[in-house]
Chains A and B, each alone.
Chain A
Amino acid sequence: MMKSESNTGLIVVYAFAGVVIAVSATKVLTGIIIFFFSSMVSVLYFKIPFKNFKKIVLMIPFGGFIALFQPFTKGEHVIISLSFIHIYAEGLDFGLLLLSRLVASFSFIVLVSSLHEHEILAAMRWLRLPTQFIFMLSLTVRYLKEFYTMLNVLKNSITCRGFSLKAKMPYKRKIRIVSYLMGSLVVSSIERGERTYEAMASRGYSVSSKIFMREFNINIRELSLTVLLISCVSLIRLLELL
């Protein structure tokens, strides 16, 4: 049986992505309150590691400062005026919207990266994502690390022969050497791809092939979380329409 954290995590991730789509500038404050309420419920009741949310908070300044300037930049209705500095209602709404989308996007990245790759794939299968998509993603997960290893091998080979980006040599030459490295990486990847396809074909690969994943059942906790989050996203959208 799969660990339930992966399902929960993925549901939360989907819900956050839903929030990004659902929230718009008009009822942004209500949307954000609902979003943070549902996030807190997820954290406290479903025991999603709090460190994940700490990471999100740490990421907010990268882009958050853009949102911070929005209330001062545009709009017609001034809500606060401090001599020559005006805070506009429309700018405030837009800034909050931007911030909520940033938080939702960062949450997506942090929550996905905190899950094990195979758990994400298994949860995707449970969520009935297309088999081909999951298969392709599992190959990517497997070979991304190999690609990185290959890159390091090539990088070491040129470092051993005296190349460094900090070395004193014409800029053009540096660019040429880095492009050779990238070219070799592409060629090696293509060759590996061919060998991997042959190996897969030898083990009976066909269009309908998939990666083996054990079946698992959704539990009451996960079901209630799903219902809660979907309700929150729907509520945000409903408020938009009212």
Chain B
Amino acid sequence: MHILEAKNIYFSYNNGLQILRGVNFKVKSGKIVAVIGPNGAGKTTLFKHFNGLLFPERGSVFVKGKKIRKENLMEIRREIGFLFQNPDDQIIAPTVFQDVAFGPLNFGFDENMIEHNVREALKLVGMEGYENKSPHNLSYGQKKRIAIAGILAYQPSIMILDEPFAGLDPEGVRDFKRLLLKLRKDLGLTVVFSSHDINALLGLVDRVHVMIDGQILLEGKTEEVLSNPSLEKAGLEMPVLFRIYHALIHKGVEIPFPADETEIVENLVRILNDEK
């Protein structure tokens, strides 16, 4: 069974602009899935349907097999952790501890549980010791971690992240990738996120959905989708690794499909040695 499923959803904003046009989307439990696409493709609008911030005009969204309705919103939001692009939109309390405790308190956790979960969540994101700090004095990357801790503290099954790599430096992106893999490994979380950083997807995601003009254009395993030439038609770029691979194939170099940089370098060295 799919833990998250959108069936043929359509959505327009009040100005009449249709943002989603028949989107079908499925995610299996424990998977890390990326949604990529140009600006204005409808990624954030789609994500807002996953926790009932928006409701589709047509079609339905299911979380753990339950259709999202106004009546079960709290139950759904307890299952879905939503990370917004800008952590300053999300961190609302005067101290880190109070902010991370906001979700668990709303979902009815008792005080001891809240204390325990907040400390565990801060430990998971590497922010222990910051409990009494004011969020205003933290760096952008630290604020992102605090925003994630604010979600982890109420133990959702699925995390929806809107552009989690935006505004992070390369080291920050690497740290964030490690954190997402850790969350999947340690907590069995299902993660769905959007990104413009195609290179960051390699070695992280299981499946990729390409979205354009409110529709899913491509969907499949990471390597298949990211090496598909039609990716460029959608205004996106293949990862550098796959561009090199395609250039080599185009030049007539017989080389197996690479999983990472090391593999392509090793294969090239082998070919060069064979030619000697």
Q: Does A199 contact B (CB under 8 A)?
A: yes
A198 to chain B, nearest CB (A): 5
- Segment from A15-23, A61-69, A90-98, A141-149 that makes contact with B: A141-149
Which interface residue of B92, B101, B107, B135 has the most chain A CB atoms within 10 A? Answer: B92
Q: Does A186 contact B (CB under 8 A)?
A: no
Nearest chain A residue, comparing its CB with the CB of B95: A118
A125 to chain B, nearest CB (A): 11
- A212 contacts B53, CB within 8 Å? no
Q: Does B90 contact A (CB under 8 A)?
A: yes
**Complex: A206 Cα to B77 Cα, angstroms:** 12
- B94 contacts A118, CB within 8 Å? yes
Nearest chain A residue, comparing its CB with the CB of B115: A214
- B86 contacts A204, CB within 8 Å? no
Given A146-B136, A204-B154, verify A141-B98 contact (CB < 8 Å). no
**184-242 of chain A: CB within 8 A of chain B:** 192, 195-196, 198-206, 209-213, 215
**17-31 of chain A: CB within 8 A of chain B:** none
- A212 contacts B101, CB within 8 Å? yes
Q: Which residues of B contact A141 (CB under 8 A)?
A: 94
- B84 contacts A198, CB within 8 Å? yes
Q: State the total of A-B contacts with C-beta under 8 angstroms.
A: 89
Which interface residue of A138, A200, A202, A213 has the most chain B CB atoms within 10 A? Answer: A202
Q: Does B205 contact A (CB under 8 A)?
A: no
- A199 contacts B105, CB within 8 Å? no
Q: Does A117 contact B (CB under 8 A)?
A: yes
Contact with A along B137-173 (1 / 0, CB 8 A): 0000000000000110010000000000000000000
Q: Does B88 contact A (CB under 8 A)?
A: yes
Q: Does A13 contact B (CB under 8 A)?
A: no
- What is B's interface to A at a CB cutoff of 8 Å? 48, 51, 53, 74, 77-78, 80-82, 84, 86, 88-95, 97-98, 101-103, 105-107, 111, 114, 132, 134-136, 150-151, 154
- What is A's interface to B at a CB cutoff of 8 Å? 117-118, 121, 138-139, 141-143, 145-146, 149, 192, 195-196, 198-206, 209-213, 215
